[in-house]
Structure 1
Amino acid sequence: MINPTSGYSPQDKALVENAVHLAYQRTYYPLRKMIFFSQNELNKKIRKLLTAYNNLLFKIKQASRLELFQIS
């Protein structure tokens, strides 16, 4: 079960908001000036960008988001 932050004491709220911002930045910004003619075409591009983003290595941990997710 994934619980990013608790409702009553959101100490991790800033971390979660930053992670959402980074994911948004890596997917929305490259797509903002493109034109898509079908939902399927858009979804394929989003999936491609998210795959690339999840495979990026962290500087300190020397592991990608995908690898860390698979470990936990």
Structure 2
Amino acid sequence: MRAARSKKDLRQAQEILDTDHYGLERVKDRILEYLAVQSRVNKIKGPILCLVGPPGVGKTSLGQSIAKSHRA
């Protein structure tokens, strides 16, 4: 049951990332990989994901999409 929910959550996160962001395939794949590991391990109370890059590359909007996928 938990694995099925985890797969559903990851699919939903992927749909949100694909809808909100064109391209950035490597970045989106890495975020989904991180979310998959976090759903399996689930040991960290407040997991941290650091997005690094120059201004205007989409760090904030990626963070908002990740938050949206967890609220949905």
User: TM-score per shorter chain, which class?
Assistant: 0.3 to 0.5
Larger radius of gyration: 1
Q: With a CA cutoff of 8 Å and minimum separation of 6, indicate the structure with the bigger relative contact order.
A: 2
- Using the size of structure 1 for normalisation, the TM-score is 0.40
- Using the size of structure 2 for normalisation, the TM-score is 0.40
